Every structure is written in C-alpha cells, then in structure tokens.
C-alpha cells in the first residue's frame, strides 16, 4: 500500500533534529514525511496530510493582541503556518498540530491564546523535560477519545502559551488537572487535531503512536478519494 505523503512544518533553527523524529513516527505508522518551512517549497497539492510542528511562540498580532510577555518569535514561520492552517481547514486536509501547531490551528480558526499560560494557570507548574510528567484528561465522546481512549494520559509539556478562546468549528478535546486546554479538534472535519504536548518524543507509547496512525489513515483516505479508488473509505476512519 502506497504511503501517504505528509507535509511537516518545522523551525529553521531546530528542524534538522525535529523533522527526523516526526518522520520516524509517520513512517512507523505507515506514512512518509516531507519537510516544509519558511523559505522551503510548499505545495498542498503534493501532500495528503499536514503536521504543523512545535517551536517558537506565535505572535499575538495574529489574534489581534499586543505582545505582553517576552517571547521568541518567527514572523516568517508564523505567516507560512497561519496560511497553511487556514487552507487545511478550508480544504478539509487532515492535519495534526503539535504544541505550537495546536495553537496555530486554534488561531487560524479565529481563536486566541494565553501568552503566558503559567501565569493564567499557576497550579499547572511548568515541566521542562520530554518525559511524560503531566496528567491529561481526555474529554469523552471526542475524536481524540476514540483514538486514544479516555483513561488519564501522561504527557510532556514544553510550552509557554496555551489555548484561550477556542476557534470556530473547534472544541476542547483534553485538559490537564489545572483546567488548561491540552488538546483541541475540529467538530466536523475528517481529521483536525491539535495536541499541546509532543507525541513524537513518546513514540514508545501506543496511545501516542495512535495519533500519528489516525492522521496517516485520514491522509490515505483523502489520497484514495482524490484518485477515486475504493482502497480506503471514510468507513476506515470510523474505527478511530
């Protein structure tokens, strides 16, 4: 079976080490990654799905707010990913947002962010390791719950911003014990999911691999639909 191609956006600073990890997760679950980034060729017609990766904070200007805290920004990447996220949502392209990517999906849908999540949620103490140290509760009857179950999940938490106002067509899919949003998802799209954590570093965990597998299944379904072949149908997505 042909591996669906997944465009993966990364930072120009750290993409050289992040992309291989994400691509490994995609390969293990049946897909193939194509690295994108500011200054690199980007073609939505050449892929069947998208991963918007983690990295620098998102400029508050994208959701009509002023910068209130010190942050490392990447305007070129902001512009690229904001447009990609909007296009993915409007064209119903399967997309997985990771950390910053989840925040970008929310902003692209008209939502906003807390610029300093740890000030807003003082009980949710920052964690600076890729190891799963934060407990997350997945909301019942969400797509994420069908993918990964509803048991409490342990994840990492390498972020400073978090979802504030949820964007149009999105819903909360997971929160931590302090109430901070840890995952959002599209209400109607075949596969639109953003997780605040970094599942690519937890490849050994079955429930984290399931996130990439669900993206690959959705991407394969889209590829088959474009080719008008019965190889994979929307019924395949119902299993997730």
Q: Which of 82, 114, 159, 198 is catalytic?
A: 198
CA 163 to chain centre: 13
Residue 11 CB coordination number (10 Å): 20
Q: How many domains does the chain have?
A: 1
99 is catalytic: yes
Annotated active-site residue in 82, 114, 159, 200: 200
**b/e sequence 15-27, b meaning 16+ C-beta within 10 Å:** beebbebbbebbb
Range of the domain at 75: 5-237
Q: Write out pLDDT tens, residues 156-185.
A: 988 889 999 999 999 999 999 999 999 999
The predicted model scores a pTM of: 0.91
> Which has more pLDDT, 128 or 235?
128
Rg of the Cα atoms in the chain: 16
Query: Tell me, what CATH number does 26's domain have?
Result: 3.40.50.880
pLDDT tens-digit map of 105-153: 999 999 999 998 988 998 888 888 889 999 999 999 999 999 999 999 9
Element (H, E) at 214: helix 206-226
The angle formed by the CA atoms of residues 150, 153 and 154, to the nearest 5 degrees, is 175
Angle in degrees, CA 51, 189, 25, rounded to 5: 25
Is 200 a known active-site residue? yes
Catalytic residue among 81, 99, 114, 159: 99
pLDDT tens, position by position, 3-40: 999 999 998 888 889 999 999 999 999 999 999 988 88
């Amino acid at each position: 079976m042909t591996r669906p191609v997944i465009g993966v956006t990364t930072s120009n600073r750290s993409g050289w080490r992040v992309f291989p990890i994400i691509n490994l997760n995609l390969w293990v679950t049946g897909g193939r990654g194509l690295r994108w980034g500011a200054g690199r060729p980007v073609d939505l017609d050449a892929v069947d799905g998208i991963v918007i990766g983690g990295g620098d904070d998102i400029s508050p200007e994208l959701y009509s707010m002023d910068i209130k805290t010190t942050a490392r920004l990447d305007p070129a990447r902001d512009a690229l990913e904001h447009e990609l996220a909007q296009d993915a949502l409007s064209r119903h392209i399967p997309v997985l947002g990771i950390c910053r990517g989840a925040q970008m999906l929310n902003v692209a849908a008209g939502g906003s962010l807390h610029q300093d999540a740890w000030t807003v949620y003082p009980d949710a103490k920052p964690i600076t390791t890729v190891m799963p140290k934060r407990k997350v509760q997945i909301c019942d009857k969400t797509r994420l719950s069908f993918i990964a179950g509803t048991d409490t999940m342990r994840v990492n938490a390498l972020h400073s911003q978090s979802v504030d106002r949820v964007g149009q067509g999105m819903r909360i899919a997971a929160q931590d014990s302090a109430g901070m949003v840890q995952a959002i998802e599209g209400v109607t799209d075949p596969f639109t999911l953003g997780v605040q954590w970094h599942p690519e570093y937890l490849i050994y965990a079955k429930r984290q691999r399931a996130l990439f597998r669900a993206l690959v299944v959705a991407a394969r379904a889209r590829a088959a639909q474009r080719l008008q072949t019965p190889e994979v149908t929307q019924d395949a997505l119902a299993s997730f």
